[in-house]
A and B are shown apart, each in its own frame.
Chain A
């Protein structure tokens, strides 16, 4: 049980009074900001990055872990108490959660979300701990060709699997890659895409991109469509669960966790699919089907657990491979890069203390959240009434501060504004923002790995699918590459191949039984 030992060491690092304080500040500020309407977990982390600037990396990551879980919890509070859904990951929680709140059971809805998040986050983090050594073994066995293939898979996955328009997804990816090209090319020493602007020589800081796209872009977009007359906030007392509620919640929590974690752990799994799967599962298994559509506690407990387990799962690819699979992980990786830490397969070897302290503080932060949020929920609900002009003016204010502080240069503010306008345009024209941010982070890396892979094969393109076997001295296909490219191929040709099959199936179904079509049709979205 070597990993258990390491986790205990992580606790020793994370549990110093100073680091505990950082975790506490992180969850508190994270929840407070995450509760604010319109601010999702990714924007919470991006806006709060400056408070970690003065810390050393371990302390900063401990605080960011707190901010992340706080922001996620805050997000679900918002979606339960406001009658409009916020970020896509809590849309499903909002369906039954908001109905519960409307029928006077807001306290129970918040309680099952809080405790469910705790259960799912804890189990999820422990699963990360146990998969870590195995994942690391896999990660360090990877050479340049394998790493190249895996990043390519991440690109294809975030663009082609998530979101509905592939053209728009790939467009977003290309914008991100173009931003990633800006700056001096490390291998050849030539300045690319800087058009004679000296400040562009260092490239565009990933944090400026994240803050510009997530914070400034969102604030400008909301400003253009601000709801006149604030949305109704449902008042809430101290959250609690009755005996019956516990009985009805615990199984959905566990099932939600089982759905969420694997989806979080694979590239492009995301939280949308598992929360939805959890919802339809609970709807089928419940003993109170009549309550679904009127506020069923199972419909909150399951999806919320799935959401949190998925968030925990994203730490697997993020820590072992340096792959961000959702927006929040992308911002966290951007933060890591800004501390001079190179994410990737060697992270766990080089920064073992940091990684295990981070995992331990995820567990600590999760526990702090439950104790903090049950009594503080009425206060958080008050934050929802913040006047919107102050809220969005505040986002612009903190975005400007955070971006300026990266390099202490007004030039970054010009970039921030430009990126904010791009972010605005992307929201207007339905371009997803996740592919862009993933491409900015991973673009330079995939180019580097491609160069290394080709260099190892003396320029032959087959260097991308394998390498020279050290034992035999002969060229050998890499099983990892072959598998990954096969998956990519399937993902890409699926929409071309699938519709004719489905059409044929549909035809056969309508011919055989009308009843069956009605049933299966109901579960498809």
Chain B
């Protein structure tokens, strides 16, 4: 698990370390705003009402946001998660992550019209290339085999919910 690493307390931590604090604060505010829109019909059957839990979650989130900010400011920085394929020695490869998010978004937009075979194939192909594969032809075949294979095995074989899209009637 992650262990907070204390750095020299005098150096100012990089601003990016405060991102989780901002996220928590924003989340807390959203939860509280939404709780405010609920009608608080506490009854004998429901003495707690629908607002209590959101209010607790919102308030505690705000407190945690402040507590985390103080802790980060004191130098308790996060230790990023490590793993088998992870090398924390180099800087985060933002470009790859954005490309993957882009390819995934494309899949969301296309899945219902083009169908899983095409959109899923594109997802695999695009992701593999974004992750550094340079076998453009071989990857295309693997992507096609995967998306066709999963469609036949899951949608047709197991009855799992996957759209055929424009290939309806051909597959």
Q: Which residues of chain A have a CB within 8 Å of any CB of chain B?
A: 37-38, 50-51, 53-54, 78-79, 82, 84-88, 162-165, 167-168, 170-171, 174-175, 177-178, 181, 185, 187-188, 190, 192-193, 195, 216, 218-228, 230-231, 272, 387-394, 396-398, 400-401, 404-408, 410, 413-414, 417, 420-421, 424-425, 427-432, 443, 447, 450-451, 454-455, 458-459
Q: State the Cβ distance, B42 to closest chain A Cβ, in Å.
A: 8
Would you list 12 pairs from A and B whose C-beta atoms are within 8 A, ordered by A residue?
A50-B160, A53-B159, A82-B84, A163-B2, A165-B2, A165-B4, A168-B20, A225-B88, A413-B104, A427-B80, A428-B80, A431-B78
Interface of chain B residues 103 through 158 with chain A (CB within 8 A): 103-105, 107-109, 111-112, 116, 120, 123-125, 127-133, 142, 146-147, 150, 154, 157-158
Q: CB distance B27 to A178 under 8 Å? A: yes
Closest 10 CB pairs of A and B: A430-B78, A430-B2, A54-B158, A459-B47, A408-B161, A393-B127, A389-B133, A389-B131, A37-B84, A227-B87
Residue of B nearest to A417 (CB): B104
Apart from the given pairs A174-B27, A417-B101, 20 other A-B contacts in the complex at a CB distance below 8 Å: A37-B84, A38-B85, A53-B159, A84-B84, A167-B71, A168-B68, A170-B64, A177-B53, A188-B38, A188-B46, A195-B34, A216-B104, A220-B101, A226-B93, A228-B87, A389-B127, A389-B129, A425-B23, A430-B81, A450-B48
Q: Count how many pairs of residues, one from A and one from B, have CB atoms less than 8 Å apart in the complex.
A: 265
Cβ-defined contact, A227 with B85, below 8 A: yes
Kindly state the separation between the CA atoms of A187 and B54 in the bound complex, as whole angstroms.
14
Q: How far is the CB of A425 from chain B (nearest CB, A)?
A: 7
- Interface SS of chain B: helix
Q: Which of B41, B61, B68, B142 contacts A390 (CB 8 A)?
A: B142
A455 touches B85 (CB 8 A): no
| Min CB gap A73→B, angstroms | 16
- Quote the shortest CB–CB distance from B26 to chain A (angstroms): 11
Measured CA separation A163–B2 after assembly (Å): 6
A28 to chain B, nearest CB (A): 15
**How far does the alpha carbon of A427 sit from the alpha carbon of B44 in the complex, in Å?**
44
In the complex, what distance in Å separates the CA atom of A390 from the CA atom of B9?
A: 43
Minimum C-beta distance from B37 to chain A (A): 9
A223-B64 in contact (CB<8A): no
Asked if B20 contacts A425 (CB within 8 A), the reply is: yes
- A333 and B20 CA atoms in complex are apart in Å by 28
Q: Which of B41, B68, B88, B150 has the most CB of A within 10 A?
A: B68
Q: Is A458 in contact with B44, judged by CB distance below 8 angstroms?
A: yes
**Residue pair A454, B39 in contact (C-beta under 8 Å):** no
**Cβ of A404 and Cβ of B161 under 8 Å apart?**
yes
Contact in complex: A174, B132 (CB < 8 Å)? no
Chain A residues with CB under 8 Å of B127's CB are 389, 392-393, 396-397
B104 x A459 contact (CB < 8 A) = no
- Give A428's nearest chain B residue, CB to CB: B80
Q: How far is the CB of B153 from chain A (nearest CB, A)?
A: 8
Question: In the bound complex, what is the Cα–Cα distance between A37 and B85 (angstroms)?
Answer: 7
- Where the two chains meet, the residues of B that have a C-beta atom closer than 8 Å to any C-beta of A are 1-4, 17, 19-20, 23-24, 27-28, 30-31, 34-35, 38-39, 41, 44-50, 53-54, 57, 60-61, 64-65, 67-68, 71, 76, 78-81, 83-88, 90, 92-94, 96-97, 100-101, 103-105, 107-109, 111-112, 116, 120, 123-125, 127-133, 142, 146-147, 150, 154, 157-163
Chain A residues lying within 8 Å of B19, measured Cβ to Cβ, are 425, 429
Partner of A174 from the list B61, B94, B116 (CB cut-off 8 Å) is: B61
- Tell me the bound Cα distance from A509 to B158 in angstroms: 66
Evaluate contact between A225 and B90: CB separation under 8 angstroms: yes
A405 touching B160 by the CB < 8 A rule? yes
Q: Evaluate whether A86 and B78 lie within 8 angstroms (CB atoms) in the complex, with A177-B57, A187-B50 already known.
A: no
Q: How far is the CA of A391 from the CA of B120 in the complex (A)?
A: 15
Pick the residue among B17, B68, B101, B157 that contacts A171 (CB under 8 A). Answer: B68
| Cβ-closest chain A residue relative to B146 | A397
Residues of B within 8 A of A458 (CB): 44, 47
A413 contacts which chain B residues (CB < 8 A)?
104, 107-108, 111
Bound CA span A391–B38, Å: 45
Structural contact, B101 and A421, CB atoms closer than 8 A: yes
Do A388 and B85 form a contact, CB below 8 Å, given A396-B127, A427-B80?
yes
The answer on a CB contact under 8 Å between A394 and B124 is yes
* Chain A residues, Cβ within 8 Å of B92: 224-225, 428
**Residue of B57, B84, B94, B146 most packed against chain A (CB within 10 A):** B84
Are A400 and B154 CB-contacts (below 8 A) given A78-B84, A429-B20, A455-B45? no
Which residues from chain A contact B64 at a C-beta distance below 8 Å? 167, 170-171, 174
**Cross-chain contact B120 with A401 (CB below 8 angstroms):** yes
Asked if A38 and B84 sit within 8 Å, CB to CB, the answer is yes
Q: Are A168 and B2 in contact (CB under 8 A)?
A: yes
Expressed in whole angstroms, the minimum distance between the Cβ of A525 and any Cβ of chain B is: 11
Asked whether, in the complex, the Cβ of A185 is within 8 Å of the Cβ of B108, the reply is: no
